[in-house]
Amino acid sequence: MKKITVAVMGLFVAGGAFAAPDWDKVPPRKMTLFYPGQASYEWVMNKADHSAVPDIVDKKRPCAKCHEGDASEIGDKIVAGKPVGSSKSVLEPTPPKGKAGSIPITFQAAHDGNKIYFRFEWVPPKIGDKKMDAKNEVKLAMMFDGGGTVEGSGLNGCWSTCHQDLRTMKSPKDDKKTKYIKDADLAGGKFMDLMQFRSGKGEKPVDGHVTDQRYNDGGKSLLKAEGKKEGNKWVVTFERTLAGGGKGDHSIAADKVYNFGIAIHEDHTNARFHYVSLGYQFGLDKAMPDVKNYINVTKQ
């Protein structure tokens, strides 16, 4: 008898017993998403290209520590095909004409003890006439690890999944190769959980993950991924159970700090032609005022 009651309650909660948070009460966090071009993990972790490697490896400096302030300038240089890094590398061999180098976004997150909610708001940059993804004007993805389970993600967010042999990168293995994590381990938690909103008509939210490649299904935790244009802004929200239900779902617990990154494909783009965040972290009801790239997700 008791067992049945518990199961029914579980269903009730998963079915949306709680309303979305009052976003006016959730502190906003500004972030700059920038155009990375072919700045792969291999490039950013190669000292000859990027003088910061000893600081990243030995001193565990997060990308955000050095680049929160200049992310928009980095994007401007890369998207214009200008040489960057110590090696003066051109990270965008075919600069898309008129494309913005970065977009400022406002990020918010809250939880209610059962679910976690994310909200993203930004003004779309200029839309060009080239449509790589005809169906979707916008795609927004967030990836997070299991609380320190993916090496390096505490510093670099998504960069551990971004390699030079992916499709559209510098030395593509083939035109199908998607992002992956070296020595990924699904059972051991060494993977990125992936949630994505797609703006196209009839498109479904993606509840996937990244191990040896990107998988677009298997997850059961993402309850909603919605987006709409409000005036001149895009507003996208995710609603997800804290518990991990399916394949490639991390469960989100109060005692851990999760590492994440965000990517927005604006203007009908695909593959690497997106805007990405530096690495950020979040935890539940845990203040860490000294960590600049950390967001405290409080209960509403």
- What are the residues binding ligand HEC (CB under 6 A)? 39, 44, 50-52, 55-56, 61, 63, 65-67, 74, 77, 84-86, 155-156, 159
Q: How far is residue 182 from each of residues 36, 144, 151, 166, 177, measured CA to CA in Å?
A: 20, 16, 10, 13, 14
Which CB atom, from 84 or from 210, has the smaller least distance to ligand HEC?
84
Residue with tokens 């502190």, as numbered in its chain: 27
The minimum distance between CB 52 and ligand HEC, in angstroms, equals 3
The amino acid at 293: N
Tokens, residue 143: 């990836």
Residue with tokens 């994590």, as numbered in its chain: 181
The minimum distance between CB 57 and ligand HEC, in angstroms, equals 10
Contacts of residue 256, Cβ cutoff 8 Å, sequence gap at least 6: 146, 147, 148, 283
Which CB atom, from 92 or from 266, has the smaller least distance to ligand HEC?
92
Which CB atom, from 2 or from 88, has the smaller least distance to ligand HEC?
88
Let me know how long the chain is. Answer: 300
Which CB atom, from 82 or from 299, has the smaller least distance to ligand HEC?
82
The minimum distance between CB 263 and ligand HEC, in angstroms, equals 13
Residue 130, Cβ neighbours under 10 Å: how many? Answer: 12
Q: How far is residue 37 from each of residues 85, 235, 256, 288, measured CA to CA in Å?
A: 13, 25, 32, 32
The minimum distance between CB 271 and ligand HEC, in angstroms, equals 17
The minimum distance between CB 67 and ligand HEC, in angstroms, equals 5
Instruction: Give the Cα separation of 121 and 106 in Å (integer).
Output: 5
The minimum distance between CB 35 and ligand HEC, in angstroms, equals 10
The minimum distance between CB 272 and ligand HEC, in angstroms, equals 13
CA contacts within 13 A on the Cβ side of 98: 7
The minimum distance between CB 124 and ligand HEC, in angstroms, equals 23
Instruction: Give the Cα separation of 111 and 253 in Å (integer).
Output: 11
Which CB atom, from 31 or from 225, has the smaller least distance to ligand HEC?
31
Instruction: Give the Cα separation of 146 and 149 in Å (integer).
Output: 5
Instruction: Give the Cα separation of 173 and 203 in Å (integer).
Output: 29
Considering only CA atoms, which of 292, 272, 281, 296 is closest in space to residue 92?
A: 272
Which CB atom, from 169 or from 252, has the smaller least distance to ligand HEC?
169
Which CB atom, from 74 or from 222, has the smaller least distance to ligand HEC?
74
Residue nearest to ligand HEC as judged by C-beta position: 63
Which CB atom, from 58 or from 175, has the smaller least distance to ligand HEC?
58
